[in-house]
Amino acid sequence: MMETASWEDFFADISENIFLLLDGVAIPTLWSTLHSIEKKVECVPLYLKTEFSALLDISPYLVHVEKASPLLRAFHGDPRFSRSGIVFISSENLQALKARLSDMLTVLTPSHNEMFFRFYDPAVLEFLVRAEETSLLDTVRGPARWVAWLSPSGKDSPAVDAITFYPAKGGDHAGNQ
C-alpha cells in the first residue's frame, strides 16, 4: 500500500513534475518565506478563486520545484517545512493540479456536515494509510504518480531521513505508473 525509501533513492528516477503542497497555517508568512529561500518561485495559493479566497494569508501553497531547488532542499532539511506539507510527483502542470486539489478542500461527514479536509497535512495522510483508506488516498493522489511525505527517523528525533510514498512502487491502485 505504501513504501518508504531514502530521500535520494526516491528522487533518483523521478522525471515527472515535483510539487510541494505546504500548509499556510503551519508556516507563518509562507509567501515571504518561500521567496526568501528561492527568488523565482512558481507557486499558487490553493484557496485562490475558491470560496476561501478571503483566507489567502493562511492558504496552503502549491509549489512547482526542480530536483536541485533550494525549496526542495529546505523541505527535506528544515522541520518547519517537512512536517508541514506533502509532495506530489505528477505529469500534471501547476494549474491543473491546483484546480484538482482545490476541489478537495472540503468533505462531507457521514452526518452531512461540510468540513475542511486537510489532506496536505502529513499526519492526515499517515492516518489514512493506517486506516487503510485506499479510496480516499487514491482521490487525493488522483492522476499523480505518487503522493509522499517525510518520515521522521525516530520518535524523538527532529531529523528526517526517509520519505514515505503512496502507492508502493508495485502497488498502484489507480492504474497509473
* Residue 162 predicted with pLDDT over 80: no
The answer to whether 65 touches 71, Cβ cutoff 8 Å, is: yes
C-alpha cell at 77: 532539511
pLDDT tens, position by position, 145-158: 999 988 655 444 44
Residue 161 is predicted with a pLDDT of: 59
The answer to which of 82-96, 118-132, 162-176 has the lowest mean pLDDT is 162-176
Residue 165 is predicted with a pLDDT of: 86
Residue 160 is predicted with a pLDDT of: 53
The answer to whether 171 touches 1, Cβ cutoff 8 Å, is: yes
The domains of the chain are located at 3-166
What single string gives the DSSP state of each residue in 64-111? EE-TT-HHHHHHHH-HHHHTSEEEEEESS-HHHHHHHHHTTSEEE-TT
* Residue 107 predicted with pLDDT over 80: yes
